[in-house]
Amino acid sequence: MSRLCDKGRGGMRFDILTLFPGMFEGPFGDSIIKRAREAGIISIHIHNIRDFATDKHHITDDYPYGGGGGMVMKPEPIFACVEHVLADVLPEEEAPPIILLTPQGRLFTQQVAMELAQRRRLVLICGRYEGVDERVREHLVTDEISIGDYVLSGGEIPAMVVVDAVTRLLPGALGYAMAPLEDSHAMGLLEGPQYTRPAEFRGWRVPDVLLSGNHAEVARWRRQQSLRRTLERRPDLLASATLTQEDREFLASLGYRGPFSDDKREE
Protein backbone atom coordinates (compact mmCIF):
# COMPACT_ATOMS: atom_id res chain seq x y z
CA MET A 1 0.00 0.00 0.00
CA SER A 2 2.72 2.45 0.87
CA ARG A 3 6.45 2.42 0.48
CA LEU A 4 7.20 3.67 3.96
CA CYS A 5 5.92 1.09 6.42
CA ASP A 6 8.20 -0.08 9.22
CA LYS A 7 7.78 -3.22 11.28
CA GLY A 8 6.49 -2.34 14.73
CA ARG A 9 9.07 -3.54 17.27
CA GLY A 10 7.80 -2.13 20.52
CA GLY A 11 8.95 1.46 19.97
CA MET A 12 6.70 4.45 19.52
CA ARG A 13 4.45 4.10 16.50
CA PHE A 14 3.43 6.91 14.15
CA ASP A 15 0.62 6.39 11.63
CA ILE A 16 0.51 9.19 9.10
CA LEU A 17 -2.52 9.64 6.82
CA THR A 18 -1.79 11.65 3.69
CA LEU A 19 -2.60 12.12 0.03
CA PHE A 20 1.12 12.51 -0.73
CA PRO A 21 3.07 9.57 0.74
CA GLY A 22 6.11 10.33 -1.40
CA MET A 23 6.76 13.57 0.49
CA PHE A 24 7.94 11.64 3.56
CA GLU A 25 10.62 9.50 2.00
CA GLY A 26 13.45 12.00 2.05
CA PRO A 27 12.95 13.48 5.53
CA PHE A 28 12.36 10.10 7.17
CA GLY A 29 15.14 8.36 5.26
CA ASP A 30 18.09 10.20 6.79
CA SER A 31 19.78 11.22 10.00
CA ILE A 32 18.18 10.78 13.43
CA ILE A 33 14.78 9.60 12.19
CA LYS A 34 16.39 6.98 9.98
CA ARG A 35 18.54 5.71 12.85
CA ALA A 36 15.62 5.71 15.29
CA ARG A 37 13.58 3.66 12.81
CA GLU A 38 16.42 1.22 12.25
CA ALA A 39 16.95 0.86 16.01
CA GLY A 40 13.23 0.16 16.56
CA ILE A 41 12.86 3.27 18.78
CA ILE A 42 10.08 4.39 16.44
CA SER A 43 8.14 2.89 13.58
CA ILE A 44 6.50 5.00 10.87
CA HIS A 45 3.53 3.83 8.84
CA ILE A 46 2.38 6.01 5.96
CA HIS A 47 -1.17 5.48 4.69
CA ASN A 48 -2.46 6.89 1.44
CA ILE A 49 -5.96 8.26 2.10
CA ARG A 50 -6.72 7.81 -1.60
CA ASP A 51 -6.55 4.01 -1.14
CA PHE A 52 -9.62 4.27 1.10
CA ALA A 53 -11.85 6.08 -1.41
CA THR A 54 -14.24 3.44 -2.71
CA ASP A 55 -15.47 5.15 -5.89
CA LYS A 56 -14.03 4.30 -9.29
CA HIS A 57 -11.80 7.39 -9.48
CA HIS A 58 -10.71 7.36 -5.83
CA ILE A 59 -11.93 10.88 -5.28
CA THR A 60 -10.89 12.40 -1.96
CA ASP A 61 -12.17 15.97 -2.26
CA ASP A 62 -15.33 17.75 -3.39
CA TYR A 63 -16.85 21.21 -3.74
CA PRO A 64 -17.94 22.94 -0.53
CA TYR A 65 -21.66 23.07 0.23
CA GLY A 66 -22.81 26.65 0.04
CA GLY A 67 -20.19 27.50 -2.55
CA GLY A 68 -16.94 29.34 -2.12
CA GLY A 69 -13.51 28.71 -3.49
CA GLY A 70 -11.41 25.61 -3.10
CA MET A 71 -12.12 21.98 -2.40
CA VAL A 72 -12.85 20.18 0.85
CA MET A 73 -11.49 16.76 1.81
CA LYS A 74 -14.33 14.24 1.93
CA PRO A 75 -15.03 12.51 5.25
CA GLU A 76 -15.51 8.87 4.10
CA PRO A 77 -11.92 8.02 3.03
CA ILE A 78 -10.46 9.68 6.15
CA PHE A 79 -12.80 7.80 8.51
CA ALA A 80 -12.14 4.51 6.66
CA CYS A 81 -8.38 5.04 6.80
CA VAL A 82 -8.37 5.85 10.55
CA GLU A 83 -10.62 2.85 11.27
CA HIS A 84 -8.22 0.63 9.31
CA VAL A 85 -5.25 2.01 11.24
CA LEU A 86 -6.94 1.52 14.62
CA ALA A 87 -8.27 -1.96 13.85
CA ASP A 88 -5.36 -3.60 15.72
CA VAL A 89 -5.67 -1.51 18.90
CA LEU A 90 -6.65 -3.93 21.66
CA PRO A 91 -9.52 -2.99 24.02
CA GLU A 92 -7.13 -2.81 27.00
CA GLU A 93 -4.69 -0.51 25.15
CA GLU A 94 -4.92 3.26 25.52
CA ALA A 95 -6.64 4.83 22.53
CA PRO A 96 -4.03 6.74 20.51
CA PRO A 97 -4.65 10.45 20.00
CA ILE A 98 -5.92 11.21 16.49
CA ILE A 99 -4.29 14.48 15.57
CA LEU A 100 -5.28 16.72 12.68
CA LEU A 101 -2.53 19.06 11.48
CA THR A 102 -4.22 22.37 10.75
CA PRO A 103 -3.43 26.08 11.13
CA GLN A 104 -6.49 26.21 13.43
CA GLY A 105 -4.97 23.81 15.97
CA ARG A 106 -3.26 24.46 19.30
CA LEU A 107 0.25 25.75 18.87
CA PHE A 108 2.98 23.08 18.77
CA THR A 109 5.66 23.86 21.36
CA GLN A 110 8.42 21.90 23.09
CA GLN A 111 5.93 21.25 25.92
CA VAL A 112 3.47 19.68 23.47
CA ALA A 113 6.31 17.59 21.99
CA MET A 114 7.15 16.33 25.51
CA GLU A 115 3.48 15.54 26.15
CA LEU A 116 3.19 13.56 22.89
CA ALA A 117 6.48 11.74 23.56
CA GLN A 118 4.74 10.03 26.53
CA ARG A 119 2.31 8.22 24.20
CA ARG A 120 2.94 4.80 22.66
CA ARG A 121 1.29 5.68 19.41
CA LEU A 122 0.17 8.78 17.46
CA VAL A 123 -2.14 9.04 14.46
CA LEU A 124 -1.43 12.14 12.37
CA ILE A 125 -3.88 13.28 9.68
CA CYS A 126 -2.47 15.64 7.07
CA GLY A 127 -5.17 18.03 5.85
CA ARG A 128 -4.90 19.34 2.30
CA TYR A 129 -6.65 21.77 0.04
CA GLU A 130 -8.79 24.41 1.71
CA GLY A 131 -9.88 22.17 4.52
CA VAL A 132 -11.39 19.00 5.83
CA ASP A 133 -15.10 18.20 6.22
CA GLU A 134 -16.11 19.43 9.69
CA ARG A 135 -17.42 15.97 10.68
CA VAL A 136 -13.82 14.72 10.72
CA ARG A 137 -13.04 17.38 13.34
CA GLU A 138 -16.19 16.78 15.34
CA HIS A 139 -16.42 12.99 15.37
CA LEU A 140 -12.99 11.52 14.60
CA VAL A 141 -10.16 13.78 15.62
CA THR A 142 -9.15 14.10 19.30
CA ASP A 143 -6.56 16.88 18.95
CA GLU A 144 -5.66 19.58 16.43
CA ILE A 145 -2.14 20.96 16.12
CA SER A 146 -0.69 23.96 14.28
CA ILE A 147 3.06 24.40 13.90
CA GLY A 148 2.78 28.18 13.68
CA ASP A 149 0.76 31.15 12.52
CA TYR A 150 1.30 30.74 8.80
CA VAL A 151 -0.48 28.66 6.19
CA LEU A 152 1.27 25.78 4.44
CA SER A 153 -0.08 23.83 1.48
CA GLY A 154 -0.95 20.91 3.72
CA GLY A 155 -0.29 19.06 6.94
CA GLU A 156 2.57 16.92 5.59
CA ILE A 157 5.45 19.21 6.60
CA PRO A 158 3.79 19.89 10.00
CA ALA A 159 3.50 16.09 10.54
CA MET A 160 7.23 15.75 9.80
CA VAL A 161 7.93 18.52 12.31
CA VAL A 162 5.93 16.68 14.99
CA VAL A 163 7.60 13.32 14.28
CA ASP A 164 11.06 14.91 14.39
CA ALA A 165 10.52 16.91 17.59
CA VAL A 166 8.94 13.93 19.39
CA THR A 167 11.45 11.32 18.19
CA ARG A 168 14.51 13.20 19.42
CA LEU A 169 13.00 13.18 22.91
CA LEU A 170 12.76 9.38 23.05
CA PRO A 171 15.41 7.50 25.05
CA GLY A 172 18.24 6.38 22.80
CA ALA A 173 17.28 8.52 19.79
CA LEU A 174 20.19 10.93 20.29
CA GLY A 175 23.68 9.69 20.98
CA TYR A 176 24.16 11.95 23.98
CA ALA A 177 21.53 11.13 26.61
CA MET A 178 21.33 14.59 28.18
CA ALA A 179 21.10 16.55 24.94
CA PRO A 180 17.32 17.03 24.73
CA LEU A 181 17.33 18.61 28.19
CA GLU A 182 19.87 21.19 27.04
CA ASP A 183 18.05 22.17 23.86
CA SER A 184 16.69 25.63 23.38
CA HIS A 185 13.16 25.72 24.84
CA ALA A 186 13.56 22.46 26.82
CA MET A 187 14.11 24.36 30.07
CA GLY A 188 12.09 27.37 28.97
CA LEU A 189 15.18 29.34 27.87
CA LEU A 190 17.15 29.64 24.64
CA GLU A 191 20.51 27.91 24.49
CA GLY A 192 23.61 30.11 24.56
CA PRO A 193 26.39 30.17 21.95
CA GLN A 194 28.38 27.01 21.16
CA TYR A 195 31.96 26.73 19.95
CA THR A 196 34.22 23.97 18.70
CA ARG A 197 37.82 23.82 17.54
CA PRO A 198 39.85 25.74 16.41
CA ALA A 199 40.24 28.00 19.45
CA GLU A 200 41.06 30.80 17.04
CA PHE A 201 39.54 31.15 13.58
CA ARG A 202 40.35 34.14 11.34
CA GLY A 203 41.38 36.04 14.42
CA TRP A 204 38.11 35.33 16.30
CA ARG A 205 38.83 33.61 19.58
CA VAL A 206 36.63 31.24 21.57
CA PRO A 207 35.79 32.85 24.97
CA ASP A 208 38.64 32.14 27.42
CA VAL A 209 36.34 30.65 30.06
CA LEU A 210 35.53 27.71 27.75
CA LEU A 211 39.23 26.87 27.49
CA SER A 212 39.84 27.25 31.22
CA GLY A 213 38.83 23.75 32.27
CA ASN A 214 36.97 25.24 35.26
CA HIS A 215 33.67 23.35 35.09
CA ALA A 216 31.83 25.50 37.61
CA GLU A 217 32.85 28.68 35.81
CA VAL A 218 31.86 27.19 32.45
CA ALA A 219 28.43 26.20 33.81
CA ARG A 220 27.90 29.70 35.23
CA TRP A 221 28.96 31.34 31.96
CA ARG A 222 26.65 29.07 29.96
CA ARG A 223 23.70 29.85 32.18
CA GLN A 224 24.35 33.57 31.90
CA GLN A 225 24.69 33.37 28.11
CA SER A 226 21.43 31.47 27.94
CA LEU A 227 19.68 34.12 30.07
CA ARG A 228 21.23 36.96 28.05
CA ARG A 229 20.21 35.44 24.74
CA THR A 230 16.68 34.76 25.93
CA LEU A 231 16.36 38.36 27.14
CA GLU A 232 17.64 39.69 23.81
CA ARG A 233 15.62 37.46 21.53
CA ARG A 234 12.62 36.06 23.39
CA PRO A 235 12.01 38.11 26.54
CA ASP A 236 8.47 36.66 26.62
CA LEU A 237 9.99 33.30 27.64
CA LEU A 238 11.50 34.74 30.84
CA ALA A 239 8.05 35.29 32.30
CA SER A 240 7.41 31.53 32.50
CA ALA A 241 10.96 30.17 33.00
CA THR A 242 12.08 28.65 36.30
CA LEU A 243 14.78 31.01 37.59
CA THR A 244 17.07 30.94 40.62
CA GLN A 245 17.87 33.98 42.73
CA GLU A 246 21.27 34.15 41.01
CA ASP A 247 19.53 34.12 37.59
CA ARG A 248 17.33 37.02 38.69
CA GLU A 249 20.27 39.01 39.92
CA PHE A 250 22.06 38.48 36.63
CA LEU A 251 18.96 39.49 34.65
CA ALA A 252 18.56 42.54 36.88
CA SER A 253 22.15 43.52 36.02
CA LEU A 254 21.02 43.48 32.37
CA GLY A 255 18.02 45.66 33.19
CA TYR A 256 15.28 42.98 33.37
CA ARG A 257 12.86 43.54 36.25
CA GLY A 258 10.24 40.87 35.55
CA PRO A 259 7.59 39.60 35.15
CA PHE A 260 8.59 36.27 36.76
CA SER A 261 6.70 32.98 36.75
CA ASP A 262 6.02 33.06 40.51
CA ASP A 263 4.82 36.68 40.66
CA LYS A 264 1.75 36.94 42.85
CA ARG A 265 -1.33 37.32 40.72
CA GLU A 266 -3.25 40.53 41.34
CA GLU A 267 -6.66 39.64 42.66
Question: Is residue 77 a contact residue for ligand ADE (CB under 6 A)?
Answer: no
Cβ(103)–Cβ(147) under 8 Å?
no
DSSP state of 255: T
Question: Is residue 19 a contact residue for ligand ADE (CB under 6 A)?
Answer: no
Cβ(116)–Cβ(122) under 8 Å?
yes
Task: Provide the minimum distance between the beta carbon of 39 and ligand ADE in the complex, in angstroms, as a whole number.
Answer: 28
Q: What is the dihedral of CA 47, 98, 133, 5, to 10 degrees?
A: 0
Catalytic residue among 51, 143, 164, 183: 183
Active site residue 183: yes
Pick between residue 52 and residue 108 the one whose CB is nearest to ligand ADE.
108
Question: Is residue 60 a contact residue for ligand ADE (CB under 6 A)?
Answer: no
SS3 47: strand
Widest Cα–Cα separation across the chain: 71
Question: Is residue 103 a contact residue for ligand ADE (CB under 6 A)?
Answer: yes
Give the residue ranges of DSSP H helices in the chain: 25-28, 31-38, 75-85, 110-116, 134-139, 156-167, 179-182, 208-211, 215-233, 235-238, 245-253
Active site residue 130: yes
Q: How many residues bind ligand ADE (CB under 6 A)?
A: 13
Active site residue 51: no
Residues in the chain: 267
Question: Is residue 146 a contact residue for ligand ADE (CB under 6 A)?
Answer: yes
The binding track of 105-134 with respect to ligand ADE, each residue x by CB under 6 A or -, is: ----------------------x-------
From candidates 102, 167, 226, 230, binder to ligand ADE by CB under 6 A: 102
Question: Is residue 230 a contact residue for ligand ADE (CB under 6 A)?
Answer: no
- Which amino acids are annotated catalytic? 103, 130, 168, 183
